Chain A
């Protein structure tokens, strides 16, 4: 320590008497600390650092399956990380604490600066310094013009360049670039605006998902959603009344480029929308082109096949029929679906089906899909009997069949081989239970319905952020003085902060001023 001190330094024998701080004093002290640039910088860098874990570990909001898998693979680590809320990093207590402190610090900085800037806007440019040659940018020119004319011309010139001017005796003082600080304040205030609109406005919205098969329709009421995530302040009255019927779902496949044959290049969901008090209208929903309807957006986020399956009892009476959405498993749309027939047959029947839009036999004898379009559709079914557990009142997923308590009647390793159907085929169920028919294959579209009233406000503030940033970074704030001293005219400039073009600007002013003066003298 001592080596860094000057040689004549000596430590005071008495400890320094610090002033005693009361409660108010301490509050003021902490407020000062929090709103200091050093703290703001620290919080900013801490925020960047704190965001990293959320990209390393799957997040509940964007990748819930990833979280489940993580839990399965590392149960012990999962517990620790979950305690630290790492699986929802961006709404965790510690992440929220950092950004809230940062924004409080920001507000504490913006308010006094706004007040200060407001006063500066109304203040007059400062008095001309006594010795201009001491300033960073200085130049002088000999002249024969009288002082009053020279100053008058300089004032006009400066005003034309956007300076605010004030004449002090034989000199003019000018200032420009207030917009720089305005932009700075707009930038920071708009950031607060983004945070507030995201935080509060987002609470009034909702998102929901629904799978719609061709020919079916979706009505925007709570009960018609497959899944629904309301915002904090959501009430079911805020669901906009509309209805969407999926008329047709088409997919275009690449056929020419041999490196990409079968790649889907254009998904189009053709729909008919109905809103109260207006005629039904036709519309298309595409991947990058959502449908705007009644204040909500409808996105096309997935698709697949829905085979139309009919189950009949031994007498030929239809006991169950529907187009069942099968969930795609790979790029060639090998899909898995479930059929549950609780009533009408001798036993409850559960069926797990594999659907291959273009079935091809693997060397092992198993089927696989070789192409995503419907070229050779085959449906392969494993049939189970037993208690489906539907009567227990426990909610069950329609996409999952719990086979634990069921008996396999037909399928791999079962008493009978799996049932195999092409379109139009009708085969008997095992044990004389009845028959099953594949009459048609439709496509389904998976629609996401979003409502976020704050969205446009977020965009508005984001654009303010850019505008404020541009003005605050690229508009120079400078003061310029022109002064007549005897037979010389002196020019000097001073910049707030770094201003690489200040000298050039002062030199340019001197040149233009000289030109203007000689113009006046000549005629």
Chain B
């Protein structure tokens, strides 16, 4: 029974990867189209409304909203594919969890599987709040690589949990850490776009699709709000981890390598939040901090897990 569920889970994961690949292609096609067509779209929108003989006020509004309103067919297809891919991906994670009879994030493979599912899920949910579809290529591409690497290199069969992981904190601590990671990932994507946009606004060129994206300042504000949420989750991860460490290892803080890096990441993002209130640090500098912060998260997840000695050894890695 377990074996059947595990193989179904793997089929779902491989299918999700295939669909994500298609979605990634359509996202990049959309970006390419934005580079080529955009100015014409704005003009058409403006011309249409003036041709219809509308009032001036209405014309103005159409022009200002045009870049956002123009949503290509490629983008719609990409979003639809991402939703389908995510459904398969989530089913894969769920089946894995049912097969193991526990949460599907107890080793590096499962963790990557679930973490990427949550990152894509957060990306999809965030669209209800803000239109961040332009990050699709970044998010889906990133998750695709991570999921692929984990499935090929870190796959392990279902085995029972070692004693140290048998705790309710496994559910809370790890899940919240993943949530924090997904918001940091979005924030880093926005900050990268912000840096590109700031370059373009300074007249130093850049890819053409930037013309269709929000201004650097708007991107900075969005990144800030997304990262704030990530920071709250990360703070909670840190504290929940300390409480669990006290139960499992007999001390709440012991400068284990993973603890150190969680602390470093927390400090970098605390710095990011303060940078926004410091003269001379707003804009591109704080964006660089956000990107460094997310790089540290990825470093913590990959290099620290694989090469550093510590107590957070993942079973069956």
Contact = CB atoms under 8 A, between A and B. Distances in A.
B197 to A, nearest CB: 18
B160 A297 contact: no
A92 to B, nearest CB: 12
B247 A290 contact: yes
Most chain B CB neighbours (cut-off 10 Å) among A55, A286, A301, A470: A55
Nearest to A258: B157
B268 interface: yes
A330 B157 CA distance: 22
A51 B267 contact: yes
A290 B275 CA distance: 42
B261 interface: yes
Interface stretch (B27-35, B61-69, B146-154, B276-284): B276-284
A29 to B, nearest CB: 18
A52 B278 CA distance: 25
Interface string B279-293: 111000000010000
A384 interface: no
A259 interface: yes
Contacts of A418: none
B273 to A, nearest CB: 8
B225 A289 contact: no
A470 B248 CA distance: 28
A288 B167 contact: yes
B224 interface: yes
B232 A288 contact: no
B246 to A, nearest CB: 7
A111 interface: no
Given A54-B260, A288-B167, A450 B239 contact: no
Contacts of A257: 2, 158-160
A59 B255 contact: yes
B2 to A, nearest CB: 8
B254 A263 contact: no
Contact size range, A:
35 or more
A388 to B, nearest CB: 34
A249 to B, nearest CB: 13
A266 B163 contact: yes
Interface residues of B, number: 53
Nearest to A52: B264
A443 to B, nearest CB: 15
A265 B248 CA distance: 15
A45 to B, nearest CB: 5
Contacts of A254: 159-160
Interface string A262-279: 011111000000000000
B295 to A, nearest CB: 12
Given A299-B250, A450-B250, A90 B239 contact: no
Contacts of B280: 38
A505 interface: no
B164 A37 contact: no
A462 interface: yes
A260 B160 contact: yes
Contact of B239 (A54, A62, A455, A466): A466
A117 to B, nearest CB: 16
Contact of B235 (A44, A198, A265, A469): A469
B161 A265 contact: yes
Contact of A288 (B242, B247, B267): B247
Interface string A291-306: 0000001010100000
Contact of B255 (A40, A61, A267, A301): A61
A61 B310 CA distance: 12
B260 A44 contact: no
A62 B249 CA distance: 11
B314 interface: no
A38 B280 CA distance: 9
A450 B221 contact: no
A217 to B, nearest CB: 20
A326 to B, nearest CB: 21
Contacts of B71: none
A66 interface: yes
Contact of A62 (B161, B232, B242, B256): B256
Interface in B286-317: 289, 304, 308-309
Contact of A260 (B159, B164, B268): B159
Contacts of B260: 51-52, 54-55
A55 B261 contact: yes
Contacts of B267: 44-45, 47-48, 51
A498 B224 contact: yes
A198 B263 CA distance: 16
A288 B159 contact: no
Interface in B226-245: 228, 231-232, 235-236, 239, 242-243
Contacts of A44: 267, 270-271, 274
B164 A287 contact: yes
A164 B242 CA distance: 40
A473 interface: yes
A62 B254 contact: yes
A58 B254 CA distance: 12
A99 to B, nearest CB: 10
Given A41-B281, A51-B264, A265 B162 contact: yes
A56 B257 CA distance: 8
Contacts of B254: 61-62
Contact of B304 (A55, A259, A286, A455): A55
A459 interface: yes
A450 to B, nearest CB: 5
B252 interface: yes
Nearest to A40: B274
Interface in B130-182: 157-164, 166-167
Contacts of A265: 160-163, 166
A207 interface: yes
B163 A41 contact: no
A264 B251 CA distance: 23
A32 B231 CA distance: 29
A181 to B, nearest CB: 13
Given A55-B304, A466-B236, A455 B271 contact: no
Given A51-B264, A288-B164, 4 more contacts: A37-B279, A41-B278, A466-B236, A498-B221
18 contacts: A38-B278, A44-B267, A52-B260, A55-B304, A61-B254, A61-B255, A259-B158, A259-B159, A287-B164, A288-B163, A288-B167, A288-B248, A301-B249, A469-B232, A473-B232, A498-B221, A498-B224, A500-B225
Give 10 nearest A-B pairs by CB, closest first.
Answer: A260-B159, A287-B163, A48-B267, A299-B250, A55-B260, A259-B157, A288-B167, A44-B271, A55-B257, A37-B278
